[in-house]
Amino acid sequence: MTRSTTPSQTVGPFLSIGMTWEHGPFVVPDATPGSFWIRGRLFDGAGDPVPDGVIETWQADPAGGFAHAAPPLGSVEQGFRGFGRSLTSPDGAYGILTVKPGRVHDGHDGWQAPHLDVSVFARGLLHRVVTRIYFGDELQANAQDPVLRALPDDRARATLIAQPDLAGGYTLDISLQGDHETVFFAV
């Protein structure tokens, strides 16, 4: 078998063997009760789709546990992986099959709203950029979330909030720069 390389970019070239992950975009197995797709598109600063990006997500399970071997973080959900990776299509589209995560403690006196942690890899980036995906139908939890509350305005918050779609999932586009730039975090 011959392994090819991906196109040479700032964060590449990658050997194709390094980009694959056994479960790809499936945080949970297909047909898991309560599962849904989060879909969107990745855009560059000019508003053009990024056809060679990578979106990775990491999240808690519905009970707020993580796919981790050590209690109390360990996930109790059967088949829950906690991680998904989607390569963007020629039109910049990505998709992650998942379940809604539970709330997790904020490390102080409160709770974070259900969210996915997201890493974005794309041409022109020397390092990944990190953001989050929250859920538009979690109004009360979002209003209490310390990360969302720390953002300067509603426009910034809106770049992190996926909206329900007609297929029973959620949609959120990610913009690397420009007028619609997504909020990214220094981690």
Give a yes or no: residue 94 inside a domain. yes
One-letter amino acid of 138: E
Give a yes or no: residue 88 inside a domain. yes
| Predicted TM-score (pTM) of this structure | 0.87
Give a yes or no: residue 17 inside a domain. no
Pair of tokens at residue 168? 């029973």
Give a yes or no: residue 139 inside a domain. yes
Between the CA of residue 28 and those of 50, 62, 63, 125, 133, what are the distances in Å? 26, 11, 14, 29, 17
At 13-32, the pLDDT tens digits run 554 556 677 788 999 999 99
**Residue whose tokens read 């997500």:** 57
Give percent helix, percent strand, percent coil of the chain, each to the nearest 5.
Answer: 10, 30, 60
Give a yes or no: residue 8 inside a domain. no
Q: What's the number of domains the chain is made of? A: 1
Give a yes or no: residue 4 inside a domain. no
The residue range of the domain holding 73 is 22-175
CATH number at residue 75: 2.60.130.10
Give a yes or no: residue 35 inside a domain. yes
CA-closest candidate to residue 27, choices 63, 79, 66, 70: 79
Give a yes or no: residue 183 inside a domain. no
At 114-150, the pLDDT tens digits run 999 999 999 888 899 999 999 999 999 999 999 999 9
At 27-84, the pLDDT tens digits run 999 999 999 999 999 999 999 999 999 999 999 999 998 866 665 555 666 788 899 9
